[in-house]
Structure 1
Amino acid sequence: MRRQRSAVLAFISLALLLLVTACSGGNGGGNGAAESENGNASGSETVKETGGAKTLSIMWWGTDERHEVTQKALDLYSQQHAGVTFKPEFMAWDAFWQKLPTLAASKSITDVLQMDAAYIQEYVSRGQLEDLSDIDLSGIVDPNVVENLKIDGKLYGIPLTQNAQGMAFNKTELEQYGIPLPQQNWTYDEYFQWAKDARAKLPEGKYPIGDTTAWDGFNYYQTSMGKDPIMSDGGKKFTLDKDLFMTFYQTYEDFRKNKIVPPAEKAASFLENDPQADPMASGVVMTRGATTGSVSALEQLMPGKVGVVNMPTGPAGGGWAQSTIFLSVSANSKNKDEAKNFVKWFITDPEAGKALGLTRGIPINPEIYKTLEPTLGEKDKLGKEIYDLSVEKALPFYSPAAGFSEWVDTYKKEMDAVTFGQQSIEEAYNKIDKMGKELAEKAAGA
């Protein structure tokens, strides 16, 4: 990060392991799981120390499996540290990022919170996160990783895992219909041709690939072609290559006409990791984005049917592989020392490591991973496989710059309008480009 993003993360992107999220799958980390039944049961206010006891409030997003194992880890910490208890709050990806700005505005962010590379700089710039540079990570995290994750010389998040953005595919159905399985380091030209060829062999109502309307989908393409990321230098530089934009989205427009991607109405109904509505688990789409941390949920929905491959590549590479998920401490916490102890413990305690497994990706601590490797199930091996397939061609992880949240939403809204035939690709480009340039000028003048 030092927020000339391409320079900051180039080393770890080529050497280490992915939003996901996410992000929703393909949006900030790929973690668009359904919210747990008890996800919002707890409050989020910082709990002060009373009577020698400490209660740490903590907040994270993820799948039900992540919720369960994280709770086990919290119980372990309480067993090992007398008098320390937790007030946990967990939810789905979207709900988390909808709630966090409200907590930030009232300065009531939990003592400890899960943080994503796509948003960490935004909350650092708001003064909401504590500097964690005094936590000794020597022998635990590669010093180059620590250095490259700093923002203005300070560390605001303890990296939990190595992650990578790749693609999952329904190997069972592809083989059933005589379609060749995706291969490592396929180019975008090969990816698009594969989709055309697969369409000819699939029955009506099934599609080889999904549509894409989120900004990062195009950013993968633009950077793979050797161009600058859409946002760089902390948002002061904005680059939306019109020729590539038109080529990329014209391809998808042609694909919609030829039923190579689902119609807009169908695509709008998808919900990742939902048994009935997930585009791939439902049997409608043969491929979708997945990360090291998120592919396990997909494997649980369709056991034995999931294969993985890296993102399509261009002359410069493709996809990303690095640390993207962290534990941070609130700058307003009344229990900072205990919170710091906890976040270091989270990545060093062997029992916690066993409990957490690979639910957030490959553990950042190599000693923890060594203890897990012999016991990995198929869902975990898939996560490691995504990393192994992705790291060779991986590019840096490019997150939205601070102040670009509205632009990210606008991008999707305008491209959704294109998919529904409400405006042309060029009209969408003009609106998106104009807003991005205005935000970059504002950032440069700040």
Structure 2
Amino acid sequence: MNKMYHRRHVIKRGVSGLAGLAVFGLVGCESSNTTSTASATSGALNMLFWGSTTRDQLTKTTFDLFHKQNPAFTITSEYYGFDVYWNKLNELIARGNTPDLIQMDMRYIAQYVRQKRLLDLTEIIYNQSIDLSDFDPLLLSSSKVNNTVYGIPLGGNYPSLFYDTEAVNKSGIGQPPENMNWDDFSAYTTELTKGLGGSVYGTLDGSGELTNFELWVRQRGKELYTREGHINFRQEDVGDWYNYWSKLRDARGCLPYSIQKGFDSSGTPSDSSMIKGKTVFLITHSNLFEAYQNGAHAVSPTRKLGMIEPPTGGNGASPGLYLKPSLLLSISATTKYSQAAIKYTNFILNDVSAVKALGIERGIPGSTKATNLLKPQLSTVQQTIAEYVFRLSNSENKTSVKAVLDPPGGGQVADLLKSIAHDIAGGKRSVSDGTQTFYTQAKKIVGG
């Protein structure tokens, strides 16, 4: 685990070609992102993040540790499921209550940069107020907007496929095949539903998740967007995607909408159809494995989850997987606690107690020091996550660098994909109508 992300990726896979967002109209955004010289010397900071109760508990531990070293400052927080997080953040901004510390995602960050909501961390990193001296360059490059850092990756991950091992064993159809393609996944999940008597389904309906659709598109040799910020996939790609899941619903391989609509909206174990025993498989990010395993243990102490790679595009397909900043920690451009916010950011990246407290729940840290520090304390579940990321990071043909960042509006496209998917699954739209509607509206959102 010492070299969780090999530096060879930076050279071999062309990180230098990673497109910034200058072409998306962000160049010339006047920076209000300069650290205030009048930053308050005491007070209470607020942090907003999405995640599970596991994340909440670990994060609050770092607040207590930070307060012990910096008694003039306290940190409070609110957390939500990913499904409502961005609305909550926008509501706070609109009321003039922008959180001092903001958990950020690469699909959404460009719009907040355009709105000048986030602090430019370039000079802060340069003078090592936030010390990234041993930080993985691939992970840091993957977090830049307009070649500028507006958020520090708190970890890296890959999409993965979680499954309920007890349900698989109970089905009697054998273990999941290695390196399943999408057709294999369809056949296997359909057999799972049959083997489990039809009361548990092979997989949840993943048609509305942009992370899944991005895999599909990248496996066809394309990025979601062009370097100019326009749609780069074809209407045919969308139609094939929605049609795949429609056929899987008809075959009873995935959860029908009548049941699915009550689950899996928050992106956490609390409403997971897999944790609730309704489905066997879930495609999501590798860093969430610990939270979902905790959720499974809460239902039954002996219940165990497994994690394998998500479906591939089959023979001759391009790699769909890429190392993704699991999330970023950004600082408000208008916070009156800028120095304390910078200090906390550096604290959770470099302080021994904070690194140990956070572990790898937000992904494998980009710091070599942090990964080496965590290695001896990793639980069996955490080792599973680390080994998965390590194996893919050292793979010659299963991953490729994401060469184009999401433009402003990327988050709206994600929301649209989900909304149309729900309409199709619920019988409100046909696949063909949903496909055309999504493609047309997505092009309008990002300007072509």
What TM-score results when the alignment is normalised by the length of structure 2? 0.81
- The change in CA–CA distance for 1:421 and 1:148 in structure 2 (over 3 A counts) is closer
Matching residue within 210, 231, 242 for 1:238 = 231
In the alignment, what sits opposite 1:421?
427
1:339 aligns with 2:313: no
Note the C-alpha offset of 1:218.
2.2
Once structures 1 and 2 are overlaid, which stretch shifts more, 128-137 or 237-246?
237-246
The CA distance in 2 between the partners of 1:165 and 1:12, in whole Å, is 23
CA contact (8 A) 1:195 1:260 kept: yes
- The change in CA–CA distance for 1:384 and 1:427 in structure 2 (over 3 A counts) is same
Matching residue within 239, 243, 247 for 1:250 = 243
The CA distance in 1 between the partners of 2:382 and 2:72, in whole Å, is 34
In the alignment, what sits opposite 2:220?
225
The CA distance in 2 between the partners of 1:13 and 1:389, in whole Å, is 17
CA contact (8 A) 1:12 1:322 kept: no
Secondary structure of residue in 1 paired with 2:239: helix
Note the C-alpha offset of 1:81.
2.1
In the alignment, what sits opposite 1:310?
309
In the alignment, what sits opposite 2:187?
193
The CA distance in 1 between the partners of 2:13 and 2:197, in whole Å, is 39
Secondary structure of residue in 1 paired with 2:116: coil
Secondary structure of residue in 2 paired with 1:141: coil
CA contact (8 A) 2:269 2:292 kept: no
**Pairwise mapping of residues 275-290 of structure 1 onto structure 2 (< 5 A)?**
277-290=271-284
Q: Name stretches of at least 5 consecutive residues in structure 2 with no aligned partner.
A: 1-8, 16-37, 298-302
In the alignment, what sits opposite 1:430?
436
In the alignment, what sits opposite 1:266?
259
In the alignment, what sits opposite 2:30?
none
Question: What amino acid maps onto 1:225 in structure 2?
Answer: R
Question: What amino acid maps onto 1:198 in structure 2?
Answer: L
In the alignment, what sits opposite 2:25?
none
CA contact (8 A) 1:12 1:321 kept: no
The CA distance in 2 between the partners of 1:251 and 1:181, in whole Å, is 23
Secondary structure of residue in 2 paired with 1:139: coil
In the alignment, what sits opposite 1:152?
146
The CA distance in 2 between the partners of 1:213 and 1:12, in whole Å, is 34
1:348 aligns with 2:347: no
The CA distance in 1 between the partners of 2:80 and 2:244, in whole Å, is 36
Question: What amino acid maps onto 2:121 in structure 1?
Answer: L
The CA distance in 1 between the partners of 2:243 and 2:95, in whole Å, is 44
Percentage of pairs with the same residue: 22
1:77 aligns with 2:66: yes
In the alignment, what sits opposite 2:399?
394
The CA distance in 2 between the partners of 1:255 and 1:292, in whole Å, is 24
The CA distance in 2 between the partners of 1:62 and 1:171, in whole Å, is 24
**Pairwise mapping of residues 104-123 of structure 1 onto structure 2 (< 5 A)?**
104-123=93-112
- The change in CA–CA distance for 1:153 and 1:89 in structure 2 (over 3 A counts) is same
The CA distance in 1 between the partners of 2:321 and 2:150, in whole Å, is 25
Note the C-alpha offset of 1:425.
0.8
- The change in CA–CA distance for 1:185 and 1:103 in structure 2 (over 3 A counts) is same
Note the C-alpha offset of 1:261.
1.3
The CA distance in 2 between the partners of 1:399 and 1:280, in whole Å, is 31
In the alignment, what sits opposite 2:359?
357
Matching residue within 306, 314, 321 for 2:323 = 321
CA contact (8 A) 1:14 1:394 kept: no
Question: What amino acid maps onto 1:323 in structure 2?
Answer: P
- The change in CA–CA distance for 1:86 and 1:247 in structure 2 (over 3 A counts) is closer
Once structures 1 and 2 are overlaid, which stretch shifts more, 248-257 or 355-364?
248-257
- The change in CA–CA distance for 1:255 and 1:371 in structure 2 (over 3 A counts) is same
Q: How many pairs were matched up?
A: 399
Note the alpha carbon deviations across 1:80-104, whole angstroms, 9 max, x for none: 1242222333333233211111233
In the alignment, what sits opposite 1:87?
76
Note the C-alpha offset of 1:167.
0.8
CA RMSD of aligned residues (A): 2.8
Q: Name stretches of at least 5 consecutive residues in structure 1 with no aligned partner.
A: 1-9, 17-47
- The change in CA–CA distance for 1:147 and 1:240 in structure 2 (over 3 A counts) is closer
- The change in CA–CA distance for 1:109 and 1:344 in structure 2 (over 3 A counts) is same
In the alignment, what sits opposite 1:26?
none
CA contact (8 A) 2:139 2:156 kept: no
- The change in CA–CA distance for 1:142 and 1:390 in structure 2 (over 3 A counts) is closer
Note the C-alpha offset of 1:118.
1.9
Note the C-alpha offset of 1:413.
2.1
Note the alpha carbon deviations across 1:48-78, whole angstroms, 9 max, x for none: 966x424322222221121112111111111
- The change in CA–CA distance for 1:14 and 1:259 in structure 2 (over 3 A counts) is farther
